[in-house]
Structure 1
């Protein structure tokens, strides 16, 4: 069990609290391995949950998109939001249907987002988005033009009210079920890249290492 205290009441893990983890390093590792976050918010009584890419710089999470985005227009008004990221690590097969489960690492962040207006901070955030998805890519590609920067909204969310929840290990069967002749255990899962497909108008056939050896899991 992790002993660190939750940063706020609403970040406190209530269901199976022993799986809760409030350590910064754990939260950051999960965020850095994930690719998609889900942003939950309410507008005029209507709840929305929108998947989007993100990037992290120190203790700040960034999301971005078009100025026409309803989500970004709503979030910059300072409404409460909830951002989640989940990594699925395995399927847990128990001896009973009831005790089947999944191994996972997840993060939940509460807070309010702020529009990034400083040009330098905006570039830092956009670099973080690119490097989060493809480490090493930013230094090789063309930087955003002035019009591209103007056509992109960037919002920042402080990672103050954040918590992680982690499940590992095999099934937790009832004692009587261990006598059943049925397979039980874990099927590990991870996101794996397949063979890259080069663009038809590619001028150079040299394939960067970050393409040929792409992976998400941090060693």
Structure 2
């Protein structure tokens, strides 16, 4: 780990991916760049997200370009009597990958289960009509870094 807390240690990165609750997805399209917070799931080097089958996010995800995402797994504010001495401790990761729309129904159900497993364990009984209209994406993590600050 470097002086600034940057790390390429895959174990640290995966810990953050597994413990996080919100992923901020950064996209770019013809209208410009934007970010959107999402629920997600992580398994075996892949991020899974879902969307409706239309709209700006869907269009950006299906254009075949790389996306960026960030996840914060822990955060604590450190206060001080002097404003310039305030700070924070945290664990965060930034990753990159190219999204792929999942068409296969069995694969889609598995991906949706991974998303649900991020937040709790169970045997998930998905509504078939909802599964059919959901756009589910897999983002293989091509590269990522973590930052850990105590």
SS of the aligned residue for 2:85 comes to coil
Q: Which residue of 60, 68, 73 corresponds with 2:46?
A: 60
Q: Which residue of 24, 33, 39 corresponds with 2:10?
A: 24
Shift of 1:92: 1.7
Determine whether 1:43 maps to 2:29. Answer: yes
Q: Would you say the 8 A contact 1:41–1:81 is kept in 2? A: yes
Determine whether 1:162 maps to 2:139. Answer: no
Q: Distance in 1 between matches of 2:108 and 2:12?
A: 26
Shift of 1:53: 0.7
Structure (1/2) with the larger strand percentage = 2
> Deviations 1:130-154 (Å, cap 9, x if unpaired)?
1111222xx1x42331x22220111
Determine whether 1:107 maps to 2:93. Answer: yes
Within 5 A, what are the aligned runs for 1:55-204?
A: 55-94=41-80, 96-136=82-122, 139=123, 141-145=124-128, 147-168=129-150
Structure with greater Cα Rg: 1
State TM-score, norm by structure 1.
0.63
Q: Would you say the 8 A contact 1:90–1:103 is kept in 2? A: yes
SS of the aligned residue for 1:162 comes to strand
SS of the aligned residue for 1:98 comes to helix
Q: Would you say the 8 A contact 1:88–1:102 is kept in 2? A: no
Aligned length: 150
Unaligned runs of 5+ in 2: none
SS of the aligned residue for 1:18 comes to coil
Per the alignment, residue 199 of structure 1 pairs with: none
Q: Distance in 2 between matches of 1:36 and 1:70?
A: 20
Bigger RCO of structures 1 and 2 (CA < 8 A, at least 6 apart)? 2
Q: Would you say the 8 A contact 2:8–2:146 is kept in 1? A: yes
- Which region of structure 1 is more displaced relative to structure 2, 59-68 or 113-122? 113-122
Backbone CA RMSD of aligned residues: 1.7
SS of the aligned residue for 1:125 comes to helix
